[in-house]
Amino acid sequence: DAKTTQPDSMESTEGETVHLPCSHATISGNEYIYWYRQVPLQGPEYVTHGLQQNTTNSMAFLAIASDRKSSTLILPHVSLRDAAVYHCILRVADYTGYQNFYFGKGTSLTVIP
Amino acid sequence: DMKVTQMPRYLIKRMGENVLLECGQDMSHETMYWYRQDPGLGLQLIYISYDVDSNSEGDIPKGYRVSRKKREHFSLILDSAKTNQTSVYFCASRQDTGQLYFGEGSKLTVL
């Protein structure tokens, strides 16, 4: 039960801006949206997160729909180093009130020189 | 420097042998996780630890157990490893803000 839906793969050319979509139609009001990325032979790396408002940091811009049922991770001017699997996940609470993180397959981003 | 360290990075065992995967973090995070990742799949949650001696099963705990005697160390133990436990195992610790820090992974092959 991944709770998020992402395309399996996307492709972009160096220097372009990439929009990575994520659908989370059953998101609860207190669930945060997190994005991680993972390159081969390494663990996932935090990219950004948000609750309701759009957020931005040095790595990416996160756009969250007004109904919170979808979000888009925007990577400006991608480079070859941005090639990775991008995971969109929700921070959910289990029955004890503690926090599980459910990772799906993510979107594999290919960057063409 | 916030870091999660996993040992060993690579391990080959025969079916039926015991396996110990170790994870350490230097951030005093209370909550730690063990995941496994198989090719083409997402990360599957094995166990969560909320602090010393406070552990909870994840989605796929069968065949695994964990030990957390110090806050900075979280071990994953396979008693009598099986070939279907061949996988890459990731440890993570959680900051109070919710952000996860992952180790580099331990690739286990069970022959």
Closest partner CB to A100 (pick from B48, B101, B103): B48
Mean pLDDT, rounded, for B50-72: 95
What's the confidence (pLDDT) of residue B64? 98
Query: Does the pLDDT at position A75 exceed 60?
Result: yes
Query: Does the pLDDT at position A59 exceed 70?
Result: yes
B63-96 burial, b at 16+ Cβ within 10 Å, e below that, comes to: ebebbbeebbbbbbebeebeeebbbbbbbbbbee
The rounded distance, in Å, linking the Cα atoms of B7 and B13 is: 15
Specify the amino acid at residue B49.
S
Query: Does the pLDDT at position A38 exceed 60?
Result: yes
Which residue does chain B place closest to A94, by CA atoms? Answer: B58
What's the confidence (pLDDT) of residue A94? 56
| Joined tokens for residue B77 | 């133990």
Cβ contact, residue pair B48, A98, below 8 Å: yes
What's the confidence (pLDDT) of residue A97? 54
Cβ contact, residue pair A103, B35, below 8 Å: yes
Q: Which residues of B touch A100 (CB under 8 A)?
A: 45, 48, 58
Q: What does pLDDT average to over chain A?
A: 90
Q: What are phi and psi of B40, to 5 degrees?
A: 75, 5
What's the confidence (pLDDT) of residue B41? 80
Query: Does the pLDDT at position A93 exceed 70?
Result: no
Cβ contact, residue pair A46, B100, below 8 Å: yes
What's the confidence (pLDDT) of residue A63? 97
Q: Who has greater pLDDT, B96 or B111?
A: B111
Across the strands, what pairs with A28? none
Q: Which residues of B touch A44 (CB under 8 A)?
A: 43, 90, 92, 100, 102
